[in-house]
């Protein structure tokens, strides 16, 4: 036969995830660390990778890595599970806690992967939008929604700091939420190294708390695909039932072990990103027409007139930022990842050119 039956009905209308990555001089669109791992650590990585038997299956649970992370968090290994990036663990969350007749509570605008995973697993979604202007969580509505048995909310994800809006969730609120429901509450801490706040101290008291972390942002390993969750062993066991047994390959395990052992060496770069973030915020605030949102993370979201044209203007000058100008609840916004100070300067000066030209009524932003 030269045709194929339709794919599963929940795929209708879904679009594959598109990071909108384009060739550029300055990649300020994906919240990556602007610096690769330093040469010293890189040499250790090369040595570790050199010794791997490529013909053998990896340790399915990545126990060496798991032990390192468990120890650093004061936990036993059965409280930790590694994944092929945080993204795999997000999908596993929907597989294990979602499904028809169960409900995912989403707090948009937030990471779009959550909703896509719910759809893929035929999980109904209840949206409680964040407050306009501040993007703060509508806390009373969330607490009320999870307390209503008719909603049958079985899991929710609180992103802290929230991507792409920038600020942390209040810990007092997360604790209220954990007490108000037995639904699984994942706290996505992909950027906690920049926000300096974690729910780890509350893990033992809340069986429904899952903390998600990644090596892709502060630890410069977006290309390697390693993430992990911290949760009660009873919860980890359920994740183990749905995960792909060999999703975390041997090379990634070895690289992540080296990087995690050397994690203190990343601290100066993290501090540098935090101080550059504050500089970007201050400079954006001082630019006419630009409304930046405060950030606890490694990017700044800002609203401006003609944001789509500004995106093009920046891109034509080799600077790639993330365009949310026509995304629901984010209209008119762009997100710039904190880069090196040179990249941030190039971004600021190109953006100022655009704004100045607009003020003069010129045509800078138009693609020639």
Q: Please state the closest distance from residue 357 (CB atom) to ligand PLP, in A.
A: 33
Q: Is 161 in the site for ligand PLP (CB under 6 A)?
A: no
Do the strands 184-188 and 153-159 form a parallel or antiparallel pair, or are they unpaired?
A: parallel
The DSSP output letter for 65 is H
Closer Cβ to ligand PLP, 214 or 247, answer by number? 214
Q: Is 343 in the site for ligand PLP (CB under 6 A)?
A: no
Closer Cβ to ligand PLP, 115 or 283, answer by number? 115
Q: Is 190 in the site for ligand PLP (CB under 6 A)?
A: yes
What angle separates helix 112-120 from helix 85-97, to the nearest 10 degrees?
Answer: 40
Q: Please state the closest distance from residue 279 (CB atom) to ligand PLP, in A.
A: 22
Q: Is 295 in the site for ligand PLP (CB under 6 A)?
A: no
- Contacts with ligand PLP, 67-96, as mask; x by CB under 6 A: ------------------xxx---------
Closer Cβ to ligand PLP, 180 or 329, answer by number? 329
Q: Is 166 in the site for ligand PLP (CB under 6 A)?
A: no
Closer Cβ to ligand PLP, 160 or 325, answer by number? 160
Q: How far is CA 158 from CA 59, 173, 188, 235, in A?
A: 31, 10, 6, 17
Which 6-35 positions form the footprint of ligand PLP (CB under 6 A)?
31
Closer Cβ to ligand PLP, 128 or 222, answer by number? 222
Nearest-CB residue for ligand PLP? 85
Q: Is 214 in the site for ligand PLP (CB under 6 A)?
A: yes
Q: Is 117 in the site for ligand PLP (CB under 6 A)?
A: no
The DSSP output letter for 168 is P
Cβ-based neighbours of 95, under 8 Å, separated by 6 or more: 121, 242
- Selected from 24, 48, 222, 240, the binder of ligand PLP by CB under 6 A is 222
Burial class (CB in 10 A: 0-12, 13-18, 19+), 128: middle
- Selected from 79, 111, 299, 324, the binder of ligand PLP by CB under 6 A is 111
Question: Can you tell me the distance from the alpha carbon of 14 to that of 172, in angstroms, rounded to the nearest whole number?
Answer: 36
Burial class (CB in 10 A: 0-12, 13-18, 19+), 30: middle
Burial class (CB in 10 A: 0-12, 13-18, 19+), 240: middle
Cβ-based neighbours of 176, under 8 Å, separated by 6 or more: 139, 143
Closer Cβ to ligand PLP, 212 or 290, answer by number? 212
Strand runs labelled E in the chain: 26-28, 80-83, 103-106, 125-127, 153-159, 184-188, 209-214, 227-230, 291-292, 299-303, 319-323, 333-337
Q: Please state the closest distance from residue 116 (CB atom) to ligand PLP, in A.
A: 13
Q: Which residues pair with 197 in a beta bridge?
A: none
Q: Please state the closest distance from residue 72 (CB atom) to ligand PLP, in A.
A: 18
Contact footprint for ligand PLP (CB under 6 A): 31, 85-87, 111, 159, 163, 188, 190, 214, 216-217, 222, 227
């Amino acid at each position: 036969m030269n045709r194929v039956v339709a794919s599963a009905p929940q795929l209708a209308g879904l679009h594959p995830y598109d990071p909108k990555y384009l060739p550029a001089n300055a990649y300020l669109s994906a919240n990556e660390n602007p610096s690769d791992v330093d040469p010293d650590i890189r040499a250790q990585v090369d040595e570790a990778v050199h010794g791997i038997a490529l013909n053998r299956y990896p340790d399915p649970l990545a126990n060496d890595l798991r032990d390192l992370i468990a120890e650093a968090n004061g936990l036993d290994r059965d409280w930790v599970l590694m994944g092929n990036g945080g993204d795999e663990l997000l999908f596993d969350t929907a597989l294990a806690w979602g499904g028809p007749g169960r409900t995912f509570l989403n707090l948009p605008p937030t990471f779009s992967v959550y909703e896509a995973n719910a759809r893929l697993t035929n999980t109904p979604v209840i949206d409680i939008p964040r407050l306009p202007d501040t993007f703060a969580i509508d806390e009373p509505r969330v607490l009320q929604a999870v307390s209503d048995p008719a909603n049958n909310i079985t899991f929710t994800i609180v992103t802290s700091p929230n991507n792409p809006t920038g600020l942390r969730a209040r810990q007092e609120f997360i604790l209220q939420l954990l007490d108000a429901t037995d639904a699984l509450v994942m706290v996505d801490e992909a950027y906690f190294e920049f926000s300096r706040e974690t729910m780890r101290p509350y893990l033992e008291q809340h069986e429904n708390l899952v903390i998600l972390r990644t090596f892709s942002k502060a630890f410069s390993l977006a290309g390697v695909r390693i993430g992990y969750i911290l949760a009660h062993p009873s919860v980890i066991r359920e994740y183990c039932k749905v995960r792909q047994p060999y999703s975390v390959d041997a090379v990634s395990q070895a690289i992540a072990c080296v990087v995690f052992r050397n994690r203190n060496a990343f601290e100066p770069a993290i501090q540098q990103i935090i101080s550059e973030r504050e500089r970007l915020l201050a400079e954006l605030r001082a630019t006419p027409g630009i409304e930046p949102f405060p950030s606890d993370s490694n990017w700044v979201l800002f609203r401006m007139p003609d944001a789509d044209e500004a995106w093009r203007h920046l891109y034509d000058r080799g600077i790639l930022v993330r365009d949310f100008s026509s995304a629901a609840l984010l209209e008119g916004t762009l997100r710039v990842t904190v880069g090196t100070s040179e990249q941030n300067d190039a971004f600021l000066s190109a953006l100022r050119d655009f704004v100045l030209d607009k003020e003069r009524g010129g045509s800078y932003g138009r693609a020639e």
